[in-house]
Structures are given as structure tokens and as C-alpha cells.
Amino acid sequence: MLTTVLRLGFVQLRVLDLSAALVHYRDHMGLDLVNVEGGRAYLKAYDEFDRHSVVLREADTVGIDIMAFKLVSDQAVRDMIPELEKRGVTFEFIEKGEQPGVGERLRVHMPTGHQFDFYSEMALSDDGPMVKNPELWRNEPKGMRIVRYDHCALLGDEIDASAEILIGILGFSIAERVLDPEGNNIALFLSCSNKAHDVAFLKAPVKGKLHHASFLVESWSDIGHAANLMARRDIKIDIGPTRHGITRGQTIYFFDPSGNRNETFAGGYHFYPDNPTRVWTIDNFGKGLFYYEQEVVESFVGVYT
Amino acid sequence: MLTTVLRLGFVQLRVLDLSAALVHYRDHMGLDLVNVEGGRAYLKAYDEFDRHSVVLREADTVGIDIMAFKLVSDQAVRDMIPELEKRGVTFEFIEKGEQPGVGERLRVHMPTGHQFDFYSEMALSDDGPMVKNPELWRNEPKGMRIVRYDHCALLGDEIDASAEILIGILGFSIAERVLDPEGNNIALFLSCSNKAHDVAFLKAPVKGKLHHASFLVESWSDIGHAANLMARRDIKIDIGPTRHGITRGQTIYFFDPSGNRNETFAGGYHFYPDNPTRVWTIDNFGKGLFYYEQEVVESFVGVYT
Amino acid sequence: MLTTVLRLGFVQLRVLDLSAALVHYRDHMGLDLVNVEGGRAYLKAYDEFDRHSVVLREADTVGIDIMAFKLVSDQAVRDMIPELEKRGVTFEFIEKGEQPGVGERLRVHMPTGHQFDFYSEMALSDDGPMVKNPELWRNEPKGMRIVRYDHCALLGDEIDASAEILIGILGFSIAERVLDPEGNNIALFLSCSNKAHDVAFLKAPVKGKLHHASFLVESWSDIGHAANLMARRDIKIDIGPTRHGITRGQTIYFFDPSGNRNETFAGGYHFYPDNPTRVWTIDNFGKGLFYYEQEVVESFVGVYT
Amino acid sequence: MLTTVLRLGFVQLRVLDLSAALVHYRDHMGLDLVNVEGGRAYLKAYDEFDRHSVVLREADTVGIDIMAFKLVSDQAVRDMIPELEKRGVTFEFIEKGEQPGVGERLRVHMPTGHQFDFYSEMALSDDGPMVKNPELWRNEPKGMRIVRYDHCALLGDEIDASAEILIGILGFSIAERVLDPEGNNIALFLSCSNKAHDVAFLKAPVKGKLHHASFLVESWSDIGHAANLMARRDIKIDIGPTRHGITRGQTIYFFDPSGNRNETFAGGYHFYPDNPTRVWTIDNFGKGLFYYEQEVVESFVGVYT
């Protein structure tokens, strides 16, 4: 089944203090601020064409509001409806313009308690990558030199059901899975692209939680640079620089001022839908999480927003 | 239009001396030799699941025999036929087993004089990436640390016609194009994935020629390593280490013992089908080719096999 | 005062099982084995001219036997004697040939309980760096791609007294120091070169202990490579990849099969004797040790051989 | 013979337009501007303790005014005088304060026509590396991320005579030499540190010419970054990124707006005075100059200021 998803489009996160969040996401991470309106800040990375990929909403709670995917066409969005109805999955439409520059979105209430939005229209940024005799970049990447918003890992209970929607309706593939001794999935890494994952579900007896929002950097060198900058600017590193066994990504985890976990991510293999699914058993989960440490770090698993 | 192409699957090159070619592709580049049979050597890179991705055929001439793409299904291959017939494009079927482990292939005789094969079956390698509690790699990558076969650049006259087949029948996108002063395409960079290009066509008054076959390495660091190794082992470097404006890839060009041009390639942006096409004008072609040198190197453009 | 020390020349470590140690130091770390004789294995890194820089002695205990420095001349060695006598420091002579290829050594029994040898003669390796129209290296560096033996960190009680010998007699400089709240030195980083440190003393109520023996790799990229290889080959990583505040070095700590701690080290600033001494207060020691983690890791401080 | 040289301290270059030069050295290369006075701009790199390391003097001609070395003491400077007199080498004293913050300098008129200054006093920068619980850097390195001024290569006729002064009076070592078929030196690479070279002399029938002034960057990654930035900002690259056989340094050559050649340099081995001198024969000079290209580039050899 061919996926109709163009890409993971944007994430909307809740932050306690928008000003402090902008210092983090704009000044430290180096995202470009597009605009602030209605209590939300819109940002993008230097290598993204669309208007925005990160939305920060000031709120009294932290965590994730929306994980949003851009589909190839409005028809592809509409084609989801009978399939959702067949499965008894709740959905609604979010009107065009609820976010500046974004068309109508189909909001799906996922069994894990997350809101996934699907849309086909977003305005192009007027500050995206150059297209006429393009330079590498308009301006040298700054801060942590984030290339793009990359993926999210989400915590919830019904991870198989959420995954089935993405797989059965939209053609996602399972790149990797982690099994408990009974053979149940306790973590699923799903791809709708040539990335090792676009979204991961981690099983936990909660609804709608965020484990981390991840951002691509170019290389292990830039992972090192990001670590230097985090330490220099007193950004709390959760773990890293290290490497995942799962996805093979090189990584640092750290927190935004509201306590949402972020990741800078590099490397990771190139995935194709016909690749065999990589399977991890629970006794090797430590190595899967952190290939160098080879152990499950409790604070990493237990802390989320 | 959704592409039914899983990926660029393999290339078959002609070499004058198979033994010398194996020293180059296996020992220097670090590809794994799968087997040799019927005058052909089959190889693969460490991060590829399928049985082989590079075929070297001993012959009296050099150049490229086949550029082959794996499609999602046999049906997807058969669906090409009416479209080819509509366009009057010649094609034939190559029987299953003509290459070991490969199913039936639909061979299309492209207007540029190249043979493009389309297939949906290839045996999995028994030495591909690990899938159960996988390590980063079975063995540390060796030689130039090639990750995978990446793309080819081809020379021919009817580049628009060849591109139209890929675009119109298979859903390829034009990631970048180079225009002459009259607005004609003189180079087209086509993607059927999230790669900046899977195949490039360069306009020249010839038929069926190869400009280069390209192989992915992980990073600029590994580009440096490859350059060290080429110089140490007296492999003639054509140009590089340098960087392309087009695709933004970091690169070294060099030659195999038969004179076929190879490339080690890293970086390059992530492409999505809705990205605006990057357009280069002829006066900026030098910068597009080699971003650091900013000039067209005649020997680079004029030498091919 | 000009230093008469050419460089840190070699280290002799005790290991419980020489065969297992060779798998570690030769096969995993990638040092060249020079020879084995008299229960000792002699090794060197690819970029060292002298015959050997690492000596492994099979013994019933682990730890460090000798830290040895090459001086500019035999006279420079002899000039140490009156200064040692003035300070009441015990010394003796080790005869030429006690190690193959090494001339007479002046052995100083340091107040911290360590044996420091000083010598001026060692045979050149016949497998050292090329000198006539030299290639980068004879063979591509293998294993962890160790460039050279770099430094040791030693634990002992009388660190000021040991440091004074190196400073007062041999012209070492204090590059960095860590102070307790009373202003006493609890760690001293001493340089006799343009390296940030050639030897470090860490204060502890013990005699003659080794904290770690460190080996240079070329870059942060090679730190990442070393981490990959350690994890792949089940070498226990103690901590890292990370970075020191002290010396700014990029690092991984790990253990040899006998439990001696090793380090792969890269980066670090260039030191000159007129540089101001960097001073750390105890409350910042965590950041000094591990700039990214910013905390003292107890197992790191408390485990030694 | 122990060298009394602490390090290569500063270079004074002539530029045609000081404003344009500041855009280049400060904004593009990323050096810190210390001050401008008396028609000269004083700059330093982020990792240097002394007040300045680069002096740009606006003049009607381009090239090099002064290559200056810091010695361990005023006495060490004075000790040079009888040796200079013995050799009949012309010298003079430049009074303290001729450059802000710099003590009296002994100026030696070298046989190759260059002015070499020797001094023991320079004020510390108040913006040098931190020394109390130091961070990696005060601010993230900018522009080309230059770590320090590294070396110069100079053109002149009497290179043996100039070298003899440095070797015979100051204890420099010859790290590498290039010989013509008659066994005469045509290039000499001299070190007074653990660097592969602090100054190089290239034989040419001229007096007092500059081939290039070189600046250290941290790694091959930063060489790549510098190349990106040069191309983005239309700084003419002469050659590179590439690598030297001689010194093994990774390099890019480029020009300042006045036409003085600059280099960003990384890598290079660690030199010790007892290392055998590496010797190149003229037939391998191409590989010595550019290890990847393996050929002498005429414009590189023939263009200087």
C-alpha cells in the first residue's frame, strides 16, 4: 500500500511561558520565528519549505497538542473518512486558518489519546530554501543548527490500535518494534518516508503523553556542537551525546524550559517499506535505547509530559 | 501522483577486467562480493537488504548496461505497459533468473539510449543488516565505508523524453533542473524517494552513456576518509573532496580501473515531492556543479563512458 | 625554566592475562604489537616513531608499573640527580636493555607512590611513520584508530610533592588545578609539551594508583567511531562519549579486560607555558570533569587500579 | 638544543583597504577585533591569551611586514645578539609600545628578506580564554571558527641561511624538507613547538615575500564549514578542501581582499624535535603539496604577495 503522506508536517507543543520557550527554540535551538499570534508562536527550521513546523502554545499544562501530517491531496485526506468510520475512530475537521497559512485539517482522536491532524495545504515560507541558483542556505545555520523537525515519540496505552490506523489507512510501515516476553508490542517505530521513524509509540498506562519531540541535525559533528552549546548555555542534558540501537540515530536528549523533552538527532538508516522489521526483545531494550550505555535509564523512560 | 518505485535497486556496469574491478569495488570501496557467475560479479553495500546492488560485467567496452528500479509489486510493473505503449516506448521482458535471485524484469529502452529495468522481486541477502536485536553493523564498514549504491548520472540526447517516462508513468519528481538561455533543460535531477536525486540526466549528443555511478558514505568525515584512502592506494581522483550546489551533496569523483567514473556522496538535502523545483541558469552551472570551485571543469563534463 | 622533556614516552601497565590484554590493546584499540618477551608485550601506535609506547606486563595485580619520559639527552637525565638528592627523593638506575631497545633509565620513586622513569635512548621503530615521500600512514589506522599514547591520570596522596618534582626539576607547567574550599590542590594537570596535560595527579589517600591511561584519537568523529566499536565488541564503556571541562578534551572511558581504565581522547587546547593556570573550585568540579553531564560521577572517581 | 621560543606570536600583514580587510578577517574569518589605531587593526582568535596575534596595516603594497615570535624571557631575546653578530645578521630594536601592549622587540633582518621580531612581553587579552571554572569558550566561535594564528609560509632566495638562524640560534627543528635533484633544499618546514610547522620557507628568486598566512581550525568538519562559508560569501577559494602530504594538514587556501593568501588548516601530526626529518624529492612534490591531487598547481606556487 502506497502511503499518501508527504511528510510529518508540524507539531504543536504546550509551554508554560512563551517568552522563555522562544529563548529556547529560537535562540538556543536556532529555529526561525515566523510569527506570534493568538498565544501561539510559529517557527520553522532553515531547511523546510512550508510556513512552519513547530507551534508553541502557551498554556497551564505542558505536553503535546497536535502531531500533524501533510498529505498529497485534499482527496487523500477525505479518503481517510470511511476508513476511520469503519474502525469507529473519532474525528473532526479543524477549519482552514485555525493556524495561519494552513488549510482545513482532519483531526483524528487516536486510541492512545493523541490528536493527529491531516492536511494538504500549507503556505510556502517566504524564507525557505532558495530555489533559483540556490546557495546552501540563506544564512549560516545558527544555534543548534536544526535542519528540520524530525519526529515525535508518544506515550499511551493502545499503541497497537493507534499504529493500525497509520498502517491500515495511510500506509505507514513498522520499521522497528520492541516485544515483551509475551510477544506484545511495547514500542513501535513507524515510518511514512525513507526515515527510520516519523513517529514512535511507547506503551504506558497513560493517554496522550509526549516522550520527546525530535529535531534533525546534520551529523555527529553537529551533535557534538549541540552538546557544547547546551552545556555552555546551561540547558539541562537528559542523556547524550550517545547513539540509539533502534534507528541507529545519534542523539542528545534535553528539556525545554517547560520540561518538554527535546532531542537532537542525526544519522539513522534509510528506510524502505520492504525492509524487514527490526525486532527487539525486552532483554536487549537497553541496547536498543542507548547503544553505548546498553542499559535502560529509568529517568529516561519514566519522565514525560 | 504516488510513485510505485521502492528504490533504485541496482546498476550493471561493464568493466574491461573483472579481477581488477573487484580490487577496486570490493577491496578499495569496501563492497561485499556476493558471488561471481557467468562473467558477472554481484556485490552489495553493508546497509542494503537485497541480494545485490552492483553488477560488474566483463566486456570489451565500458559504460552502463542497466539501471534498475525495484517497484512495490508485480502489478505496478505490469501497469507500466499500457503507458509505455501509449508513448511508443520500446520494452521487453527479461526472464526471472537472468540475474541470480532476481525476478522477471521489464526492460525499457529509454529515449536517451539507456536500458532501465523494473522489477519487484529480489532475494534478500543472508548478510544484510541484522534484524533481531541488531548491532549497528555485522562488521565494521571497510574500505571507503560505502553505505549503499545511491544514484547514477547519465548522458544522452533526449533527456526530456526519458524524464517524462519516469515522471509520467512512475511518479518521479524533478528536484532540480539546469536551463540553457533558451529555457531548455540541459540537466535534470529526478527523485523517486526522499533523496535529492535517484537519477540525473545530462544532455549530450550521445546515446546510453554513463557519467558516473554514485555511492553513499555517511558524512563529510567519511568523504575525508575516502579521499585519504584513494590517495594512499593510488586511485585517481577526478575532483574533490568538494561539494555540489545541486543537491548540496559532498563529493569525490574518481575512476574505476576501466575508466568508469565513480562518486562517493554524502549529505544532500531531504526531498519531498511537493518541494519547489530548484532551477539553475547556465551562468550559475559552475556553482551548481562545484559549489566551492564555482566553475565548470571541462574534463568533468567531457569525460564519460 | 625550559623543560628538558621531549615527551611522555611509554607506560607499563600490569594485566592479569596477557592474551586477553592483547585482544584489547592490539585488536580492539588497534595498537601495533612490537613483540612479546619475558612476560611483557610491547606495543605502539601508528603515529609514533619510537620502538614502543605501551608495555603490558602479566602479573597477579593490576595497575601501573611505570610512567616514563624521554629527555633530550643523557646529560639532562644526569642533571636531575643533584635536584632529587636535594629534595631527598629516592631514585635508582634501571639498566639499559631491561626493556628491549631502551637505554638506561633513571627511576624516581615519587611521593605519590608512582615510579617515574626518565631516559634518553629508545630505538626507532622500523614500522614508524614514513619519512621518505611519506604517505599519511603505512596502513589505514585500524580498531579505535589510536594515534599515540597520550597521558595518564594517577591517584595518590602527596600530589603537591610529586608535582613539585616535575615542575621544579624538569620544567613542567600546571595547566589546570582543582581546589578544595581551603585552597588545597585536589587535582593537578601538568604539561611538558603543547598538550593540555601529559600527566594528572588526583588526590586520594592511596599510593601508586592508576586512574586511567589515555590514548589520542584524531577527532570527535573518531571518538564516535571508537564508541561504535566498543559497543559492537562488548567493551564496557565507563562514561562517554562526552567532553571534559578540564582540558576541553572529548572522551570515552572504558576498561581493559583486567579492569584498568583506558580513555580515548581528542581535542583539548594547545598549551604554552606562559598560559595562565586554569583554576577550578570544588563546586564546579562536576563541570570540569564532564562538561555535558556537569556532575561528579561517583563510580568514575572511586574506581581505579 | 632547547628552544627558547614560546610560540609564533603574531603576524603583521599589509592590506590595501583596512575596512575591506576587517570584513574579511573579522566578519568572515571570525577573529576578534581588539582595536584600530595608527592605521593598523589588531585582532586575535578566540583561543589565544595574548592581546593580539594578527596585525593588519593599511599600505600601498601588500604582503608581510613582520613575523614575530614570543620568547620565554627578555634574557632569551638578548642572548640572540652575540649569535646574530657572529653570523653578521643585521638586527635592530623596536621600542616597547610600537604596537600597543607589546614590549621591546629585537628585529632580525633575515637573509630571505623577511623581518622576524622576537619579544618576551605582550599584554594578556582581557577577552582571552576563561581561567576560572572555564567554559569551552566565552562565546561560540563564529565565522570560520579560527582557533589561533598558526604559521606562515614565506618565499625567498636564501632559505638555508634564514633557516640556520632559527635552528642555530633558537633551536628550531626541520620537520620536513623538499630536495631538488641536486640535493638542495627548495622548501623547509621548521617547528619550534609540537606543531608540524611554525614557519615554512619556499625557495624563489625573490626577497621578503609571503606565500600564505595560516589559521588553525579544529577539524576536517570545520574545514568543510569554512569552505561552505567561503563559497556562500563569495570568498575566492584558491584550492581545497584538500590535504597536504607535507605536515598531513587538511587545508583550504583563499585570498583576502588585498590578494594575500590565507589558509585554514587542521590536523597535521604532532612533532617532536627528535623525530626524523621527513624528506621529499622533487618528483613527489606534487603529492607533498596536495596529497589528493598529487600534482603541483602552478597558480599555487607562482602567486604570492
What CA–CA distance (Å, rounded) separates D4 from D1?
9
C261-267 and C249-255 as β-strands: parallel, antiparallel, unpaired? Answer: antiparallel
Nearest CA of chain B to the CA of D232: how many Å? Answer: 9
pLDDT at residue number C252: 98
Predicted confidence band at C1 (pLDDT cuts at 50, 70, 90)? confident
- Per-residue pLDDT of C81-94, as tens digits, reads 999 999 999 999 99
CA distances from A184 to A179, A287, C41 (A): 5, 19, 51
C-alpha cell at C169: 626539576
Nearest CA of chain D to the CA of B221: how many Å? Answer: 7
Mutation site, A138, A218, A221, A222, interface D, largest D CB count within 10 A: A221
Decide if pLDDT at C301 tops 90. Answer: no
Looking at residues B264-280, what average pLDDT do you find? 97
The answer to whether A211 is a known catalytic residue is no
Decide if pLDDT at B296 tops 90. Answer: no
Bond before B241 cis per omega within 30 degrees? yes
B54-58 and B40-44 as β-strands: parallel, antiparallel, unpaired? Answer: antiparallel
The answer to whether D292 is a known catalytic residue is no
Sheet holding B148-156, edge to edge: B237-243, B249-255, B261-267, B209-216, B148-156, B199-203, B185-191, B173-179, B278-281
User: Which chain B residue has the Cα nearest residue C231?
Assistant: B135
Decide if pLDDT at C62 tops 90. Answer: yes
pLDDT at residue number A300: 87
Fold of A148-302: 2,3-Dihydroxybiphenyl 1,2-Dioxygenase; domain 1 (3.10.180)
Amino acid identity of B9? G
- Per-residue pLDDT of A285-301, as tens digits, reads 999 999 999 988 888 88
Cα dihedral D57, D61, D62, D68 sign: negative
DSSP letters, A185-254, are EEEEEEESSSSS-SEEEEE-S-SSEEEEEEEE-SSHHHHHHHHHHHHHTTPPEEEEEEE-SSTTEEEEEE
Domains A5-119 and A148-302 share a fold: yes
Decide if pLDDT at C296 tops 90. Answer: no
- Catalytic residue annotation of C: 151, 197, 212, 244, 253, 263
User: Which chain C residue has the Cα nearest residue B221?
Assistant: C221
In chain D, where are the structural domains located? 5-119, 148-302
pLDDT at residue number A133: 98
Decide if pLDDT at B157 tops 90. Answer: yes
- Per CB-CB distance under 8 Å, the chain A contacts of C224 are 220, 243, 250
Beta-carbon separation of A243 and C221 below 8 A: no
pLDDT at residue number D297: 82
CA distances from A108 to A12, A66, A88, A114 (A): 15, 10, 11, 8
Beta-carbon separation of A248 and B221 below 8 A: no
Mutation site, B29, B137, B139, B232, interface C, largest C CB count within 10 A: B232
Question: Percentage of residues in chain C with pLDDT exceeding 70?
Answer: 100
| Angle (nearest 5°) at CA C169 between C168 and C171 | 70
Which residue in this structure is represented by grid cell 596502513?
Answer: C139
Which of C2, C6, C275 is nearest residue D72 as measured by Cβ atoms? C2
User: Which chain D residue has the Cα nearest residue A138?
Assistant: D232
Which of D237, D250, D293 is nearest residue B292 as measured by Cβ atoms? D237
- Per-residue pLDDT of A272-282, as tens digits, reads 999 999 999 99
pLDDT at residue number A199: 98
| Angle (nearest 5°) at CA A255 between A254 and A256 | 135
Beta-carbon separation of B133 and A280 below 8 A: yes
User: Which chain C residue has the Cα nearest residue B232?
Assistant: C135
List residues in chain D touching A: CB distance below 8 A.
135-137, 140, 219, 221, 228-229, 231-232
What CA–CA distance (Å, rounded) separates B230 from D114?
39
The pTM of the full predicted model, rounded to 2 decimals, is 0.97
First to last CA, chain B: 34
Beta-carbon pairs below 8 A across chains B and C? 21
In this prediction the ipTM stands at 0.96
What SS3 string covers C176-245? EEEECCCCCEEEEEEECCCCCCCEEEEECCCCCEEEEEEEECCCHHHHHHHHHHHHHCCCCEEEEEEECC
Q: Taking the CA atoms of chain B, what radius of gyration do you get in angstroms?
A: 18
| Given the residues D25, D119, D253, D304, the one annotated as active site | D253
Beta-carbon separation of C229 and B140 below 8 A: yes
| Given the residues B58, B197, B211, B304, the one annotated as active site | B197
Fold of C5-119: 2,3-Dihydroxybiphenyl 1,2-Dioxygenase; domain 1 (3.10.180)
Mean pLDDT, all residues of chain B: 97
User: How far does CA C63 lie from the centroid of its chain?
Assistant: 13
CB B199 within 8 A of CB B152: yes
The answer to whether A197 is a known catalytic residue is yes
User: How far does CA C280 lie from the centroid of its chain?
Assistant: 22
pLDDT at residue number B1: 86
Burial B97-124 (b: 16+ CB within 10 A, else e): eebbbbbbbbbbebbbbbbbbbbbbbee
Three-state SS at A40: strand
Mutation site, D264, D291, D292, D294, interface B, largest B CB count within 10 A: D292
CA distances from B5 to A5, A167, B79, B115, D215 (A): 15, 19, 12, 16, 48
All residue ranges of chain D with pLDDT < 70 are none
All residue ranges of chain A with pLDDT < 50 are none
- Per-residue pLDDT of D213-238, as tens digits, reads 999 999 999 999 999 999 999 999 99
CB B266 within 8 A of CB B249: yes
- Per-residue pLDDT of D247-259, as tens digits, reads 999 999 999 999 9
D63-71 and C237-243 as β-strands: parallel, antiparallel, unpaired? Answer: unpaired
The answer to whether B24 is a known catalytic residue is no
Which of D2, D6, D219 is nearest residue C72 as measured by Cβ atoms? D2
Which residue in this structure is represented by grid cell 559504460?
Answer: B63
Burial of D205 (0-12, 13-18, 19+ CB in 10 A): exposed
